[in-house]
Each structure stands twice: as C-alpha cells, then as structure tokens.
Amino acid sequence: MSEILLVVDMQNGFMSEKCRHIIPSVIKLIERFLATGKLVEFTRFINTTDSNYVKLIQWSRLINEPETSIIDELQPYINNIFDKHYYSAFTENFSAFIFLNQISKIYLCGVETDSCLFKTAIDSFERGIEPVIIEDACFSDGGQQAHDAGIFLLKRNIGKNQIQMTDDILEKML
C-alpha cells in the first residue's frame, strides 16, 4: 500500500491570519512523511479571469503571483506541485501520478477544509483511494464555522474514522 501526504493549496492568497496556525502541524507532517520515505506532494490553485469563481461567485483572487505562490515556510519541501483550476486535486496529471505510484491512501492537509480538501477527499473516496483528513492541519479562510462545516460533512460522507489528528498520525508512523 502506497501512501501520500497531499499538502493542499498552502498559498499566500489563502493563508490569512485565520489559517496560519496550521503551519507547524503541516511542517511536522511533511518532515515525518519524508523521513519515513513516503511521498509528499503539493497542489496549487490558480484561478482564471473567465472561471466560474469569477463569473458566478464574484471571487477573483489567486489569479497572479504572489497570491498563487506556496508560502515561504513550505518552499524547502516542494518536490512536485500539481496545478489545478478547480477545487479538487484530481486533475489529469495528479490522477496519472496516483495511478503510476499505486497510491491507495491519501493524507490531506492544507486549505480550504470546506471546499478544496472536501472535494479532493470525496473524489479520492469515489476512486477507491482511502482519504484521511488531518483535522488540526487544515483550516478555512472562511473561519472556524466553515472549517467545522467541512469536517462535519466529511465525517458524514467518508466516515468519521477518516478524520484524524496530527499527533495520532505521527504516533502510528513511529
């Protein structure tokens, strides 16, 4: 069974003060995964001026640098970045990567719990790949209520045991 830590959209444009508290947990996870020889990959959301984000919800952020860049604290850990123009990480490139590496379990951390992490976890679940959301290593720029709503719906849709905490995952990796 191949496992991966997927760091979702930890970009300047998403990392408001509301979200920055997850950075130490994300770094601990990255370092432990790398130390045990497991894959660590990143996604980066890039909006476009003609997207439905702009047209339907009038959200026109994350179109250009520096908003689209992965935060400075995580730059030393980047190997691959899978660019995406929608919520889910499951682009053609990422899906091919998952297939080629025979990934059967995806640990998810990053932002936004209620959209990008949510959609990626559901897509993983529906593809027969076990998703694990690391609750204290993800958050939403929409605040605690948006994060909690995402966690609530994920427990309902992928299983309450698929929501775990950083320390529990690190302990199992010893």
Q: How far apart are CA 18 and CA 52, in angstroms?
A: 25
Percent share of the chain, pLDDT over 90: 98
Q: How far apart are CA 165 and CA 167, in angstroms?
A: 6
User: 84 in helix, strand or coil?
Assistant: strand
The C-alpha angle with vertex 134 and arms to 121 and 108, in degrees rounded to 5, equals 40
Mean predicted confidence (pLDDT) in 59-64:
94
Q: How far apart are CA 140 and CA 162, in angstroms?
A: 18
CA dihedral 103, 109, 114, 116 (to 10 degrees): -50
For position 171, what pLDDT does the model report? 94
Helical spans, DSSP H, in 36-165: 52-57, 92-100, 118-126, 144-158
Q: How far apart are CA 23 and CA 40, in angstroms?
A: 15
Mean predicted confidence (pLDDT) in 54-74:
96
> Above 80 in pLDDT, residue 69?
yes
For position 173, what pLDDT does the model report? 87
Where does 2-172 sit in CATH, by number? Answer: 3.40.50.850
> Above 70 in pLDDT, residue 76?
yes
Domain residue limits, the chain: 2-172
Q: What pTM did the predictor assign? A: 0.97
> Above 70 in pLDDT, residue 1?
no
> Above 90 in pLDDT, residue 30?
yes
